[in-house]
Amino acid sequence: MSAKPEIVLQGTGVSSGTAFGQVLKIDSRNRVIFKIEVEDAEAEVRRFMEAIEISKHQVENLKSRLEEKVGGDHGVILDMHFLILDDRVFHDEILDSIRRNRVNAEWALAQSRDHYVEAYKSLDDEYFRDRYSDIEHVTERILMNLSGEQPFSLSNLPDGVVLAARDFNPSGFAVMDLGKVRGLVTESGGRTTHTAILSRGLRIPAVMGINNLMSLVSSGDGVMLYGDTGQVILNPSRKRIENELKKPVEQLPEIGPRRRVRLRTKDGVPISLCANIEFEYEIGAAKANGAEGVGLYRSELLYFRYPDGKPSMEDQLAAYRKLAEEMKPSPVSIRTLDVGAEKSLPSEKPEQCANPNMGLRGIRRSLRSLDTFQTQIEAVLRAACFGRIEMILPMVTTIEEIRDVRVLIDETHRRLISSGINAPYVPLGVMLEVPAAVLMMESLATEIDFFCVGTNDLIQYLMAVDRGNDQVAYLYQPLHPCVLRYLAHIAKTAARVKKSLRVCGEISANPFYAAILLGMGFTQLSMNSLSIPLIRRVIGAMSLNDAQKIARKALTLKTAKDVYEYLTPAVTRAVSAVSIDVDFGSWAAEINPGPDIS
């Protein structure tokens, strides 16, 4: 072994398992892009579009190769890359910059990339925040094709390597010999990136989010990584290696095709799984993964795609109509613009206030910006002519807010009818994010058609915790008894007032949390579409009776740690009678509360 000292690093385990091997360092380029004035803007436009077409051909080829290796379920991830490349708004923004500013394609592309990445990173939801990596991977491919560079070759890897990179493009799995790769470790990324999702599907142990990794490793270094705990050991000692080799090796079942039928629990209770999406092109992945509708469309991402943050009514109608037509006859729930405070539109300055999370955001902001809000309402109502559309109001606190929105909807509806557009009724729902709204559910139910639970914000407000503050982030505890009791109250109240109810927070994509939600009475869950097959398998392997027993017991416990220590083995036992391929270790780590905080 190397004489280098042993170094223990800590990151986030995103795919369970233990790996030991030699580092292969893939040091992505720190690309510097210069702004160059061009004389012939149209020639630059043609150069950009040629790079787009080359990139699309490459991604199609990579998707086919990935599907040949591991099946169609995983190829869906590269559909995301192709559809970004095929996005008209993405093209138009860059082409407009080339023509208007007479600049080189690389500069225009980099400016657009930075705009999108900033918008994604401002999001609260981890899964959608991590989508910035898809934008970076796609733009890096286009930049390489503009320059004629060749990517780092992964086609002839040595045996037994652990790949180390700043970031790793999921398309790389398509060209490598997977049998030679023992693990993956990166500086950036988290468990909801597409690279992490593919790592789990391919059963490659992986750890992400290790600061300064690339300055610490060299190709040929020995490395041991633990995908369950997120620990990485550089230059492990001989004793550590010998101890690890003594442990029994877990035999995992083969990856195989999964049937897509109407989801029911083991005892026949129907369960609906919908997709959370942010772009129209994600509809294909949602349908391929068995989504029964779009449970949450985050419309603010449509606004961020425009330099001034103001898509026209026609722009919005085109997007909403595409969703409605492609998802028909299943419903599409459009959440109205949810920006404000620290998440501002491109043309606006962030509001300066002491506590932006409790400031002018969501429906509060929309009711202060009536022109923008009425434009969106009109686009939603018009889109309902082409499929089943629903509208969701974010950050609702009072019944007066709903009534004010009803007035605007009724005014817009009458205007459309008078102009000859027979817009149908659009069901109206509210996000349950503010504790006050939860306690007012019976009153709110008289004004709306359905409820959605936004677990991210609800937990934040219940626990009085700013998730962005490292000093108190440990208090963000989805398994805290207070959170569980609030959710149980929501389920019981919705049933009592006979209103449809769904959970739209990404916590429902965790199999342990999905099980406890099922036991509380939630039968509609909405999550990122790539998590739907996993949750289908877990819920399909459980009976409602077992889930109810688990939920009842969990609701009697006093700390998040108590809940965690009971929940994880209880759910594992409940599904153990059915052979399902689920990486329970890393999912348990995601909800582990750590030290007792109650």
pLDDT at 577: 64
pLDDT at 74: 63
230 shares a domain with 171: yes
| CA 462/CA 79 separation, integer angstroms | 38
3-state secondary structure of 240: helix
Mean pLDDT of the chain: 85
Question: E-assigned strands of 445-509?
Answer: 450-453, 500-503
Q: Is residue 231 part of a domain?
A: yes
pLDDT at 127: 64
| CA 491/CA 32 separation, integer angstroms | 53
Say how far residue 40 (Cα) sits from the centre of its chain.
Answer: 40
Q: Is residue 252 part of a domain?
A: no
393 shares a domain with 316: yes
409 shares a domain with 369: yes
Q: What is the pLDDT of residues 263-309, one digit of tens each?
A: 999 999 999 999 998 877 778 778 888 899 999 999 988 887 776 78
| CA 101/CA 400 separation, integer angstroms | 47
Q: Is 504 a catalytic residue?
A: yes
Q: Is residue 539 part of a domain?
A: yes
CB 207 within 8 A of CB 13: yes
Mean pLDDT of 115-143: 78
**DSSP summary character for residue 249:** P
CB 139 within 8 A of CB 48: no
CA-closest candidate to residue 483, choices 542, 438, 550, 450: 438
Say how far residue 178 (Cα) sits from the centre of its chain.
Answer: 25
| Look-up of token digits 């017991």 | 553
* Token pair recorded at residue 488: 């149980």
* CATH number of the CATH domain containing 94: 1.10.274.10
3-state secondary structure of 178: helix
* CATH number of the CATH domain containing 222: 3.50.30.10
Residue 182's identity, in one-letter code, is: R
**Peptide linkage before 595 cis (omega within 30 of 0):** no
Least confident of 398-402, 419-423, 468-472: 468-472
209 shares a domain with 324: no
CB 459 within 8 A of CB 508: no
Helices (H), 447-480: 455-462
Cβ-proximal residues to 478 (8 Å cutoff; 6+ apart), any chain = 455, 459, 507, 513, 591
Residue 540 has pLDDT above 70, yes or no: yes
Longest alpha-carbon distance in the chain: 82
282 shares a domain with 383: yes
H or E element, residue 12: strand 12-15
Number of domains in the chain: 3
For residue 578, how many other CB atoms are within 10 A of its CB?
12
CB 507 within 8 A of CB 476: no
Calculate the alpha carbon distances from 350 to 340, 344, 346, 356, 514 in Å: 7, 5, 9, 9, 35
CB 238 within 8 A of CB 488: no
512 shares a domain with 469: yes
400 shares a domain with 335: yes
Q: Is residue 249 part of a domain?
A: no
* Cα angle 168, 131, 342; round to 5: 130
296 shares a domain with 210: no
* Token pair recorded at residue 353: 């206030």
Q: Is residue 454 part of a domain?
A: yes
| CA 180/CA 158 separation, integer angstroms | 7
pLDDT at 255: 37
Of 74, 137, 274, 504, which residue is the catalytic one? 504
Q: Is residue 503 part of a domain?
A: yes
Q: Is residue 168 part of a domain?
A: yes
3-state secondary structure of 340: strand
Residue 356 has pLDDT above 80, yes or no: no
285 shares a domain with 187: no
pLDDT at 347: 60
Of 81, 137, 194, 413, which residue is the catalytic one? 194
Length in residues, the chain: 598
Q: What is the pLDDT of residues 278-290, one digit of tens each?
A: 877 778 778 888 8
H or E element, residue 13: strand 12-15
Cβ-proximal residues to 222 (8 Å cutoff; 6+ apart), any chain = 1, 2, 20, 21, 22, 23, 234, 235, 236, 241
68 shares a domain with 16: no
186, 218, 239 - which closes a domain: 239
CB 381 within 8 A of CB 413: yes
3-state secondary structure of 529: helix
Cβ-proximal residues to 569 (8 Å cutoff; 6+ apart), any chain = none
pLDDT band at 116 (very low <50, low <70, confident <90, very high): confident
Residue 426 has pLDDT above 70, yes or no: yes
* Token pair recorded at residue 495: 């049933």
157 shares a domain with 135: no
| CA 170/CA 202 separation, integer angstroms | 11
Residue 232 has pLDDT above 80, yes or no: yes
pLDDT at 86: 86
Q: Is 194 a catalytic residue?
A: yes
Q: Is residue 248 part of a domain?
A: no
Q: What is the pLDDT of residues 43-73, one digit of tens each?
A: 999 999 999 999 999 988 888 887 776 665 5
pLDDT at 357: 67
For residue 261, how many other CB atoms are within 10 A of its CB?
9
Q: What does the DSSP assignment read for 94-114?
A: HHHHHHHHTB-HHHHHHHHHH
Q: How many CA atoms lie within 13 A of 238 on its CB side?
A: 3
Domain span at 347: 272-591
Residue 374 has pLDDT above 90, yes or no: yes
Q: At what angle do helices 584-591 and 560-575 cross, to 10 degrees?
A: 160
467 shares a domain with 422: yes
* Token pair recorded at residue 415: 């205007």
Handedness of CA 435, 440, 442, 444 (dihedral sign): negative
pLDDT at 598: 45
pLDDT at 499: 97
| Look-up of token digits 């919005």 | 316
239, 261, 281 - which closes a domain: 239
147, 169, 187 - which closes a domain: 147
CB 396 within 8 A of CB 430: yes
pLDDT at 101: 93
Q: What does the DSSP assignment read for 366-415?
A: HTT-HHHHHHHHHHHHHHGGGS-EEEEESS---HHHHHHHHHHHHHHHHH
| CA 307/CA 97 separation, integer angstroms | 10
More confident residue, 443 or 126: 443
CB 570 within 8 A of CB 551: no
Residue 94 has pLDDT above 80, yes or no: yes
| CA 207/CA 496 separation, integer angstroms | 45
pLDDT at 595: 56
